[in-house]
Amino acid sequence: MINSLDPRIAREQINEDNTIAPLTEMDNWETYEVFHQKKRGEQHEHVGIVHAPNNEMALLFAKEQYGRRGISVNIWVVKTSNVFASDYDDADIFETVPDKQYREAGGYKVMEMINKYKKENKVK
């Protein structure tokens, strides 16, 4: 076992031949997704992840990681394993064809008025 003065090395239990002792149950904690709310009533926004063994500790860590600077009034933590996600193989479901562009906000008639105003007033 490599005996280091640095506790981060010592607790990894690294053998002389550089192999690491097998992980036990609590060696690697789960990840939690963190959402913070800047103002009451506004939507919570995803800000990142924390490692934690349970909900309370996830909240504890999330507050310091993401709420320490700037403004927050509320934080949510959700186990990453509880997030149901789409598959990257299915990314084509998000593709759109040119003749559906009338459904995008940019297709509204008002754009013509905005562009005309911009042209007349030389706004870039």
Partner 1 sequence: MNVTAIKELLYKMADDLLIIGHRNSEWTGLGPILEEDIAFSSMAQDKIGQAGALFEILHELGEDEPDTVAFMRDANKMHCAHFVELPNGEYDFSIMRHFLFDHADQLRFEMLANSSFEPLAQVAKKIKGELKYHVFHANTWLVKLGNGTEESKARMQTALNESWNYALGMFEVGDFEKELQSENIFEGEEALKTRWMANIVPFIEKANLKIPDTKSWEPILGGRKGYHTEYLQQLVEEMGEVFRLDPTAQW
Using CB under 8 A as the binding rule, whether residue 38 contacts partner 1 is answered as no
Residue 53 found at the interface with partner 1 (CB under 8 A): yes
By CB under 8 A, residue 6 contacts partner 1 = yes
Closest CA to 53 of 73, 35, 77, 37: 77
Residue 29 touches partner 1, criterion: CB under 8 A: yes
17, 19, 41, 68: which one binds partner 1 (CB under 8 A): 68
**Which neighbouring-strand residues pair with 14?**
20
Per CB under 8 A, the list member of 1, 42, 56, 101 interacting with partner 1 is 56
79 touches partner 1 by CB under 8 A: no
- Tokens 């926004």 locate to 45
Residues with Cβ < 8 Å from 33, sequence gap 6 or more?
Answer: 46, 48, 49, 77, 78, 79, 80, 83
Q: Least Å distance between CB 55 and partner 1?
A: 10
Of the residues 39, 46, 51, 118, which one makes contact with partner 1 according to CB under 8 A: 51
Helices (DSSP H) in the chain: which residue ranges?
7-10, 55-66, 110-120
Query: From the list 12, 47, 63, 78, which residue makes contact with partner 1 (rule: CB under 8 A)?
Result: 63
14 vs 110: CA distance, rounded Å: 66
Binding residues vs partner 1 (CB under 8 A): 6-8, 11, 26, 29, 50-54, 56-57, 60-61, 63-65, 68
